[in-house]
Each structure stands twice: as C-alpha cells, then as structure tokens.
Structure 1
Amino acid sequence: MAIALNLNGETHNVDVSPDTPLLWVIRDELKLTGTKYGCGIAQCGACTVHIDGAAVRSCQMAVGDLEGAAVTTIEAVEGTAAEAVKQAWQELDVVQCGFCQSGQIMQAVDLLGIDPAPDDDLIDSVMGGNACRCATYTRIRAAIHRAADILEG
C-alpha cells in the first residue's frame, strides 16, 4: 500500500504496510541512517524524531498514522534551538561513541522549544527517556544549559 510521508520537507511515497514502524521506513525504505534503532519499545530514545515539532519515538509510531504530519529527522532538524544545541554539543565535546546522540539532540531541541531556560530537574525529567550507554549524562545536561545560554544571546 502506497503511503505519502512528509519527511524532512519532502513528500515520499512509500509502499509499506500502514502498521510499519516509522523507524523502519526512515532507515530501510528512505535510507536515512541518522535515526537509530536501540530497543524497539520506545524506552531508549535512540529513534527520536520530531512529528509536527514534538519529539516522538519512531520505533513505536505506525507510518499509517502520519497522514498530514510533518516528520523531521536529525538530518534536517533546523532552527535556532537546533543550531544552539549543535553548537553546544560540539563546544562541550558531548559525544563519546555517538550512537544515542541523534536521539539526544532531537529530544534536547524539543525541550528547548518548550522551555528555553530549563533547570536541572526539567532537563532530567525530559531527557530521562533517552539512554546513553556511555553515560555522558552530565555533559548532555551541561550542553543543554550551554544551548540555553546561546539562545539567550
């Protein structure tokens, strides 16, 4: 069944079952590999994308439920919050192995869109669903604070 998917600002017609997880469409059908498979049960955050601007776990989102929605992956995330997060991630050398970082960045961009100056409690609450096997959590929190400073100007 052909499904029209608005991904990264372009419409893609994909011939998949409507219950196919968005993650598999992104990775296997559209060959965008920045969004990672981590657990398959929406518990690790590696597959985080934005749907209509909000962070969502793509491994549990059926592609058939996305009619009319705008999906953004790490390859196309943009805007002032995204640029601030990317800059902060580089300045503070957040990445260790890098596997989880696309999901971490997508979640952080969403967080800063909700609250451009989050405190540690809010950061921990919102980012708590994103696992990092290398345990770079303190660098991630520091980078979110740095991104907030960048946004503040």
Structure 2
Amino acid sequence: MSAQPATAHPTEVPDLAALLVDAVTTLAAAACRRSLLLTVDLDDEPLDVALPSVAWHDLVVSVLARAVVTLAPGTEVALSLTRDAGLVTLRLADTGPGVAPAASDGGVTREAVEALGGRLDVTTVAGVGNDVALTWPAAAPGRHLVAV
C-alpha cells in the first residue's frame, strides 16, 4: 500500500466569469431597488487567477455592494472581466458624479486587494464617473487553484 498525502481542500479551476455573474446576481435585487443599471461584459476565454475563488468572489461582492449603496439612483454600472498581457482585470465603471480620489476605492482598501496579490487602480472624473480596476496576474495554464 502506498501512502497518499492528505489534502485539506479539493483543487479546482474556478470560472471567474461564473463567479462574477453570481456576485452580480447576489446584488441584483438591491441594485434594482435603487434603479441602478448593471451590465456585464465577459472575455470569451476562461479566466483564472492564483487565489482562492471564495476570496475573489467575496471581494467582488464587497465592491458591488459598496457601489449599490453609494451610487445615485439611475447610475449605470458597467462591469468587465478581461485578460491582457498576462493580467486579469475586473473593471467597474460607473456614470455617477465622480468622487474625490481618497474616497473612490470602490469600497475596497488597497491593502485588501494587495493582500490577495492584486493591484487596485482608481480613476475619477468629476461629473463623469469612477473607474475602479482590480488586476491580478493570470494563473499559469493548467494551474489548479485551492478552494478555501
């Protein structure tokens, strides 16, 4: 008999597009009550990042929840998930009034994103809106991620 190493968690290749859609679905009713229009644009190819899918999902829900609570009724919120040059980027762009850069982190602290190996970039234009980009290195092809 050979000894097999015990694993605490099953491995997975998470579908970030499905996780994003699930996060949007989680907050859709609240967004509807505030008359927010959410749109989602997904990359055609499967995307994954080297972090636990639960942590990524929770971060996305946090960003969206903050947007739902703080944006004015009637605001349009465009979400996109793309891969470019070895990076996966989740972008949240809104048509709100724009806010001061110190307050425009999308409800996520830079430290929280960086703790997950990512980068947070915020662009705000008064009277035009906010653009919040959360970026991580794409996982290596065939890499399996641990669900926690």
TM over 0.5: no
- Structure (1 or 2) with the greater helix fraction: 1
TM-score (norm 1): 0.29
Instruction: Tell me the TM-score normalised to structure 2 length.
Output: 0.30
Which structure carries more strand by proportion?
A: 2
Larger Rg computed on CA atoms: 2
